[in-house]
Amino acid sequence: MVQSRSSIKYLFKYINKGPDRATVVAVPAYNECANNDLVDEILRYRYLSSCEASCRIFKYDVHCRYPSVVRLTFHLPNQQQIVYGEDDDIDDVLDKPSVATSKFTSWMECNAIDSEAQKLTYVEFPTKFVWILNGRFWKRRKIGKAIGRIHSVSPKLGEAYFLRILLNKVKGPTPFDEIRTVNGETHSSFTDACYALGVSDDDKEYIDAIKEASHFGSSFYLRFLFVTLLMCNSMSKPGVVWENTWEYLADGILYNQPQRFKSACIAFFFLFFI
């Protein structure tokens, strides 16, 4: 990138920042504290470097983008995104083709009828197929080159996050159930499927960390550690970590709660509730 603006768009998006500019502010020398009108007195000048000037003179390309990137949307079962106006009739909204057929569900429909499609993951699909927006279907690519990109999802969204992980691994599913199927077993959630496939951690390191901290830390410290892990979305299955460490987190409750509420039954109630 010494003498070129060519860049990977989805890495830095550098080509979208515009040309180089220099900002000059005109301030009267005799009265620097005056209330200046910024609209009138701030002048923006474009800076044209020698490298860019030579590219312009010889009509070289100053930016490029290759290959094209196809944004791949996805959703949980029966949770398609619907866009409608405030005054739209609900029946008309539900009759829209985009509601019944999405880019994601059309991919699974194509997998059911095309043997070539069954060899590809969702993110690999645009390399061999083209999305026809008007007809809302995929057809085999004849010309050009494209790559797919599944939009990022926060781990806080739970099932949607693990569905995205599976879409980068599973090839040719037709219904949603096949995405959750690992070694012939259909799991009840995408989270469990990721766990069975081995793409999610078993959280053993977090269980060991809490157990190790129990040797020198108080139960308050252990609970603080557990909450920190929850807020950071570090654990794949927080319930498993809790089941293996709750006794350490509840340490001292038999002593502290009766002292706090002046009742010996309180502690046993807390333990029963846990």
pLDDT digits (tens, 9 = 90+) for 168-184: 999 999 989 999 999 98
Asked if residues 123 and 154 have their Cβ atoms less than 8 Å apart, the reply is: no
Mean per-residue pLDDT of the chain? 80
CA distance 82 to 218: 50
H helices, E strands: number in the chain: 14, 8
2 pLDDT more than 80? no
Nearest C-alpha neighbor of 148 from the set 64, 74, 63? 74
% of the chain at pLDDT higher than 90: 27
The token pair at 147 is 């790559």
Instruction: List all residues 6 or more positions away from 135 whose beta carbon is below 8 Å from its beta carbon.
Output: none
Cα angle vertex 244, ends 238, 247, to 5°? 115
Report how far Cα 148 is from the mean position of its chain's Cα atoms. 15
- Name residue 131's beta-bridge partners: 138
Give the span between the Cα atoms of 186 and 255, in whole angstroms: 45
Four-point Cα dihedral 183, 188, 192, 197, nearest 10: 20
Q: Is the four-CA dihedral 97, 85, 150, 198 of positive or negative sign?
A: negative
**Residue range 19-58, pLDDT digits in tens:** 666 666 666 666 655 566 666 655 566 677 788 889 889 9
Average pLDDT on 71-90 reads 87
| Strand partners of residue 22 | 45
**Residues 149, 154, 157, 158, CA torsion sign:** positive
Closest CA to 205 of 197, 213, 196: 213
Domain assignments of the chain as residue spans, ordered by start: 9-57, 68-197, 204-273
Q: State mean pLDDT over 264-274.
A: 51
C-beta of residue 163 within 8 angstroms of C-beta of residue 190: yes
Mean pLDDT of 242-264: 76
- Residue scoring higher pLDDT (215 or 8): 215
Q: Is 53 helix (H, G, I), strand (E, B) or coil?
A: helix
